[in-house]
Copies of this chain bind each other. A is one copy, B any other.
Amino acid sequence: MTDPALIPTPAVIVDGDVLDRNIARMGSVLSARGVALRPHVKTHKVPEIAAKQLAAGAVGITVATVGEAEVFAGSGVTDIFIAYPLWVDKAKAGRLRRLATTTRITVGVDSLAGAEAMGRGLGSDAGRILVSVEIDSGHHRSGVAPADAADIAHGAAQAGLSVVGVFTFPGHSYAPGQAPAAARDEDAALREAAAQLEAAGFPMTHISGGSTPTALLDGPTAATELRPGVYVFGDAQQWELGRCRPEDIALTVASTVVSHQRTDSQQPGRFILDAGSKILGSDRAPWATGYGRLLDHPDARITALSEHHATVEWPRGQVLPERGSRLRVVPNHVCLTMNLVDEVHHLSNGAVAGRWAVAARGKNS
């Protein structure tokens, strides 16, 4: 089957040509900035896509969980950063120890208790796990204040772990107009924390920042590496934040019009697509225009979402697309969409070129 119109809907379709362009662009921009690229592969969870990123110059990959690290290490990736303040009990320590036999593993830490637990769990192998101290640069999720980074680093070293640096995620970049300020916050926080650790005698080989909204900005950065994820596909959030153009969007959900809900010409028309929250995900930022966008109909709005229904509001006076016709939906947050499907179809020159298994789907622990 090479005709994408024959794929049963709803289904995730990746345009491989756009994907390749996105991967090449991020690689060359960061190379020009003199910053290493360590893409966050929680976005796609596909070893074949990670291989493309590494071939385009990425120094390694970022994951969020031990389970994701196991999948990508199994596919041959040899340098993995688990950018998360893991709580490492005995079972998780065993898994980290096994990973470290084939792979350079760096793990996040943001508390003395977390460092001590990890050291205890790993025992005499603690030194084989590299740790990076997570700092809060303004997103106020996990991570410590930059001024506290050296304390955590000392605790980690005392627990027998190998401290290599600091990292942060400037998640407050995910709001209209906020990316430049978030990038400045990130730079200041990394700079302060790195200086603290350096003064305390830690070798600073790892100074790591985010994110798709900030990675392509050209301001100064203290980071030695950046970890954008979404840039490979783009999504409706990046589109509405102005961080990608519609023609940069590599992933859409093929869907079918199944019902017409309102057709009188005095009001915006309404119809139902068969793509719902069970394939799009239901993230919706307060500033989003809806629960996703239609790639080929930017004036349409997805105003409601159930598990298997998207309600689309259509410009007033325009004829609704016929029942049975297919439309391309851009999810709001593409990382959730990839985590909902076991495989995706990928296209080359508009024809179906094959399928990729979403090998790390659901690896939450």
Contacts and interface: CB of A to CB of B under 8 A. Distances in A.
A309 B259 CA distance: 37
Interface string A9-28: 11100000000000000000
Interface string A320-346: 001110000000000110011110000
Given A114-B323, A323-B111, A365 B141 contact: no
A279 interface: yes
A190 B258 CA distance: 22
Interface stretch (A72-80, A219-227, A240-248, A270-278): A270-278
B111 A10 contact: no
Contact of A272 (B42, B141, B278): B141
Given A308-B65, A340-B339, A278 B87 contact: no
A42 B307 contact: yes
A149 to B, nearest CB: 14
A8 B261 contact: no
Contact of A171 (B272, B281, B306): B306
A292 interface: no
A71 interface: no
A51 interface: no
Contacts of A9: 365
Interface of A: 6, 8-11, 42, 64-65, 84-87, 89, 91-92, 110-111, 113-114, 117, 136, 140-143, 171, 256-261, 272, 274, 277-279, 281-284, 304, 306-309, 311, 322-324, 335-336, 339-342, 362, 364-365
Given A113-B323, A114-B324, 19 more contacts: A8-B365, A9-B365, A42-B308, A85-B259, A86-B258, A89-B324, A111-B260, A113-B322, A113-B324, A114-B259, A117-B324, A142-B309, A143-B259, A277-B281, A277-B283, A282-B282, A340-B364, A341-B362, A342-B362
B10 A365 contact: yes
Nearest to A9: B365
A25 B308 CA distance: 28
A258 B141 CA distance: 11
Contacts of A260: 111
A131 to B, nearest CB: 14
A259 B324 contact: no
A364 B282 contact: no
